[in-house]
Amino acid sequence: MVSMALESKLSCKVGRYLMERLEKAALCEIYALNGVGRSALFKGLSECGSFLKLYQSDVSVLQRILPPQAVVDLVNRRRQSSSWHALERLEAQGFQVITILDLNYPSYLKTIHDPPFIIYCAGNTDLLTGFCLAIVGSRKASHYGRSMARKLGEELAGYGITVVSGMARGIDTEAHMGALNTGTTIAVLGSGLNVVYPRENQALYERIIMNGLIISEFPLDTPPDSKHFPMRNRIISGLSRGVIVVEAQERSGALITADMALEQGRDVMAVPGPVTSKNSWGTNRLIQQGAKLIMDVQDIIYEYPDYEWQPSTHPIMVEGVLFTEQDSEEAEILQLIEVDGIHFDELLQRTNLDHGTLSSLLLKLELKGIVTSTPGNYYVKIR
């Protein structure tokens, strides 16, 4: 009797798994059709009850729901192959698919008013459920902007935060690279998962797959297109608790991401810059309009007092220097030392260390040739 009950339970689980997989496969096929958008998918789900039933529907039903060319393409696909084709191709290339019907769909992203029906993934999908913050900014970033993006990426990832960005040139690239030095990152593409854009980020793309996650809502082989990037930006902000804008010109796409973040109820933060710099016009304006002004990582951490920080187990890279977990206090001090120097008493206040411990740690940094003391009890970086 027990054996029969167990067999029945296993049979139900297998049957449920197969139905869920068929449903996912059908959605992948329909989603890949040209011209099929959110409204058609909603209508199809409403009228047919499932994507599998929509996929199997008569032509007369399809014509009420899908664009004319999509109906032709779908009928041709059904004649040529099974509904497993699109999903099998993705999985054969090592990619994963998460649909809005799946239990592991990121809950935070689902709260936005237009969440993607499908997320194509390459890498560690567990990152989608973690604490994420986005760093965005100008493609034509200044040296200052690139430096700040990498620094914030390194330091946030060092706290166990997953840094989200769009893998574009400039600020995005630096944020990803900084995060990979100390932890994890998610790149959201404006192209198909197998289309690397820009091409010079091929090595970065491969690093992120190995140590982070790359996602896209666009089917395989979809080329980058200007209309895709605002769609990508809503996912960047949708995955994140907050968005940090490092540099942005007057008409920057980063400002679109900031606007989307506000609409989604996310925090908006910005790094100030010279008022004479075009790259800082957008960030300075955001601050003027109420965005949180960010000077260092502590300004960001302060905004989330209820989050239980889980420091990364990766070796820590700060200012080009690799620290082990045992050297984490040295790394923390180095992060606080400004380019123009900082007074010993201010370091005491900001680190909450006692006088002797701080003096010992500063001496270690001096012996490593990373900082030096100057008259007046100031400390400056020399690397």
Q: Which residue has the tokens 């380019």?
A: 339
Q: Hey, how many other C-beta atoms are within 10 angstroms of the C-beta on 221?
A: 11
Paired residues of 132 in beta bridges: 162
pLDDT of residue 120: 97
Rounded-to-integer distance, Cα 124 and Cα 10, Å = 29
pLDDT of residue 1: 46
pLDDT per position in the chain (383 positions), as tens?
Answer: 445 554 455 455 556 778 888 899 999 999 988 889 889 998 999 999 999 999 999 999 999 999 999 999 999 888 876 556 788 888 889 999 999 989 899 999 999 999 999 999 999 999 999 999 999 999 999 999 999 999 999 999 989 999 999 999 999 999 999 999 889 999 999 999 999 999 999 999 999 999 999 999 999 999 999 999 999 999 999 999 999 999 998 888 899 999 999 999 999 999 999 999 999 999 999 999 999 999 999 999 999 988 876 666 555 555 556 555 556 677 778 878 876 788 999 888 887 788 888 888 888 888 878 888 888 888 888 76
Q: Which residues of 179-204 are buried (b: 16+ CB within 10 A; e: fewer)?
A: bbbbbbbbbbbbbbbbbbbeeebeeb
Rounded-to-integer distance, Cα 179 and Cα 289, Å = 28
Whole-prediction pTM value? 0.78
Q: Which residue has the tokens 């797959």?
A: 209
pLDDT of residue 326: 52
Cβ 274 vs Cβ 282: under 8 Å: no
List, in order of start, the domains of the chain with CATH numbers.
2-86 (no CATH), 122-301 (3.40.50.450), 321-381 (1.10.10.10)
